[in-house]
Amino acid sequence: MTTYYRNYSLQMDKLMFQNLFQKLVAVLFSICLVGVHPILADETDEIITSHGISVFGDLKYNENFQHFDYVNPDAPKGGNMSVWGFGTFDSLNPFIVKGNSIHIYYLRIAFDTLMAESDDEPDSSYGLLAKSITYPEPSRSWAIFDLREEARFSDGSPVTADDVVFSFEMLKTKGTPAYRLSFENIEKAEALSDTQVKFSFREGHQTRDLPVLAGSIPVFSKAHFDNRNFEDSSLEPILASGPYVVEKADAGQFAQLHRRDDYWGADLPVNKGRFNYDTIKVVYYTDYTTAFEGFKGGDYDFREEYYSKLWTTGYDFPEIENGRITREIIPDGRPSGAQGYWFNLRREKFADPRVREAIAMAFNFEWSNKTLFYDAYKRTDSFWENSYLQAEGLSSEGELLLLEPLRGQIPETVFTEPAFTPPQSDPDKLADRRILRKAGALLDEAGWILEEGQRVNAEGEKLEIQFLSEGESSHRIITPFIENLQTLGIKASINSPDAAQVQNLEKNFDFDITSRRYSFSLTPGQSLRSIFGSASAELTGSYNIAGVSSPAIDTLLDAVESAETRDDLTIAVQALDRVLRSMHIWVPSWYSGTHRVAYRNIYSRPENLPPYDLGEMYLWWYDEEKAKIYEEAE
């Protein structure tokens, strides 16, 4: 699903049903599957039954594959992995708005889904809880999943179609806005038998990625909620069927997961060589610098470093010097993500895009990169930065076919100027007068006039803004930004409450500007609506942090979802990227295109990591030989 999650997409398996006889067998088999529930499909449809599904092109792995190419199928089991989490938590239910849950990234290994994604393909998934998927191609108006009879929850009870239906209905009606919006075009789920579940998709809507979206649903036990309310925040783990269970948790401090010795799916091809640690511990910190000190002190063993100053100057302690901690820079094949400072468009003072553009111009990235970041980064300008999906130059002919009908609803610069790129500032001067003069002119045009050093509008209201900050470490970046804003006559300040308050303020959209990073896949689809769609703009807890609400953007989201080829998808995403950038909904910040990791020299990893996931929690393993050497060197 979204950020934040890898996108899930689908395509037909072209290796199957290549002659008329095979097609007939498939249709007859599918009719038998549903019994009295007839399979309805367009007369031009072909009924496909496959071990996997993808949006564009062939599946990489055939039905007899033994394991993913990027795993070590002989990886040893055992040992411990420990990482850190930012903020706080008081709940182990990441699917609801209520409470502050531990992030789903850490809990996903507790929840099996119907299908599992491949990390070396942009948009493929293969059977996990489901051994096969049946669907009509090309309409994709429904999908039937045939569950594995051996699938079990951690208490030994079987995973049934009723559990899948219950999980879907809870997420669609009571889950976070991201789930509710993503599932809105899945009309219903129904159990055809104990082991067969059918999803029907809303007629008249795009269905390209809906079967695999259905396959991505985390499944939990219906019986578990017989005497519990799904919407209640709780530190009691949800009964699930994944390889790990939450062993213990201390609110705001840590959560520890333990690998199941009786995990039903350990030998499946999608799981071979994965989930290798006996325990995984997530230690929480509300301050970035304190978290680094915790790593140095041995509170946890694996750290991905996002702070360039620490990476450049902080890793000089004894365990680095004696080789007991390894540092690596590992390529990241995903789009680099949309990281920046996001305006809350729900606030009237940000209604004029000229005001937003002027504020963004006060951020001198080049100075920050040289002075604060040790030239470690490049400037972000696109929501699909560092990928072929980002818009470049003037609108292409393909883009114009999508954009021309929107003329008058979107900025005219989309048609007359290259895709917006932030202006380059002087790296040697924080206050680049040339850029600030242009920013001041934009504010003048927008009706915010400079009087006695302060920007005021026609009603005499002062232009004041506040940055919601997640910790002291970000102040060194925001403070110079504020200096330039004050030069423009804008009164700016930092609001830095504790982590729980930050989460609540963002959840309720009670802020002016906040920082956030979204990671979008190379095959985006329905999940984009939870970030840029009008329907998500006012939903409490929505991922639409900026409050984007535009019929034109909704139309472009339609184009992304309805793309029938990868070329069509590329054009639609580039058009969407171009328009979003022209709207100035954020202050784009920076990217590196790599993973900077440091870890105690007790772990090993596959030789060829997949391009779309670092996989430290489920592809790496505890290396006993290294651990012995590590202990002897102490």
Average pLDDT over all residues of the chain? 91
Mean of pLDDT values over 21-43 = 36
Contact (Cβ atoms closer than 8 angstroms) between residue 530 and residue 543: yes
Q: Is the pLDDT of residue 439 over 80?
A: yes
Distance CA 75, CA 272 (A): 9
Q: Which of 354, 361, 359 is nearest to 445 (CA)?
A: 354
Q: What is the pLDDT of residues 593-624, one digit of tens each?
A: 899 999 999 999 999 999 999 999 999 999 99
DSSP letter assigned to residue 397: H
Handedness of CA 150, 154, 159, 164 (dihedral sign): negative
pLDDT at 33: 33
How confident is the model at residue 7, as a pLDDT?
32
Query: Which residue matches tokens 């006993």?
Result: 624
- Given a cut of 80, whether residue 388 has pLDDT beyond it is yes
Place of tokens 């202006």: 423
Q: How far apart are CA 59 and CA 52, in angstroms?
A: 7
Rounded to an integer, the average pLDDT of 197-201 is 98
Strands 464-468 and 491-495: parallel
Strands 46-50 and 130-137, sheet pairing: antiparallel
- Pairing mode of beta strands 244-250, 115-117: unpaired
What integer pLDDT is reported at residue 181 of this predicted model?
Answer: 87
User: Above 50 in pLDDT, residue 16?
Assistant: no
Residue written as tokens 């996002």? 306
pLDDT score for 42: 58
pLDDT tens figures, 45-96:
999 999 999 988 789 999 999 999 999 999 999 999 999 999 999 999 999 9
Condensed to tens digits (0 to 9), the pLDDT of residues 325-354 reads 999 999 998 888 899 999 999 999 999 999
Task: pLDDT band for 35, please (50, 70, 90 cuts).
Answer: very low
Share of the chain above pLDDT 70, in %: 93
3-state secondary structure of 325: strand
CA distance linking residue 199 with residue 171, whole number of Å: 14
Q: Which helix (H) or strand (E) holds 137?
A: strand 130-137
- Per residue in 543-580, pLDDT tens? 999 999 999 999 999 999 999 899 999 999 999 999 99
pLDDT recorded at residue 15: 28
Token couple for 632? 């002897």
The answer to whether 520 and 335 have CB atoms below 8 angstroms apart is: yes
Closest CA to 339 of 463, 440, 477: 477
> Any bridge partners for residue 124, and if so which?
54
Q: DSSP 3-state assignment of 557? A: helix
- Compute CA distances 14 → 47, 58, 248, 362, whole Å: 12, 6, 46, 53
Question: Range with the lowest mean pLDDT among 8-17, 146-155, 580-589, 593-602?
Answer: 8-17
Report pTM: 0.81
**Cis bond leading into 138, ω under 30°?**
yes
**Distance (Å, whole) CA 143 – CA 356:** 44
Structural domains in the chain plus CATH codes: 338-591 (3.10.105.10)
Q: Looking at per-residue confidence, does 594 or 204 come out higher?
A: 594
pLDDT in tens, 466-521: 999 977 778 999 999 999 999 999 999 999 998 889 989 999 999 999 999 998 98
What pLDDT shows up at residue 65? 98
How big, in percent rounded to 5, are the helix, strand and coil portions of the chain? 30, 20, 50
| Contact indicator for 285, 470 with CB cutoff of 8 Å | no
Residue 526 pLDDT level (bands cut at 50, 70, 90): confident
Mean pLDDT of 95-121: 94
Tell me what pLDDT residue 470 has: 75
| Banded model confidence at residue 36, pLDDT cuts 50, 70, 90 | very low
Answer whether residue 632 shows pLDDT above 90: no
| Alpha-helix runs per DSSP H in 446-550 | 475-487, 499-507, 529-532
- Residue pair 144/196 in contact (Cβ under 8 Å)? The answer is yes
User: Residues 267-303: pLDDT tens digits?
Assistant: 999 999 999 999 999 999 998 889 999 999 999 999 9
Q: Three-class SS of residue 277?
A: coil
What does the pLDDT read at residue 500?
86
- For residue 372, what pLDDT band results from cuts at 50, 70 and 90? very high
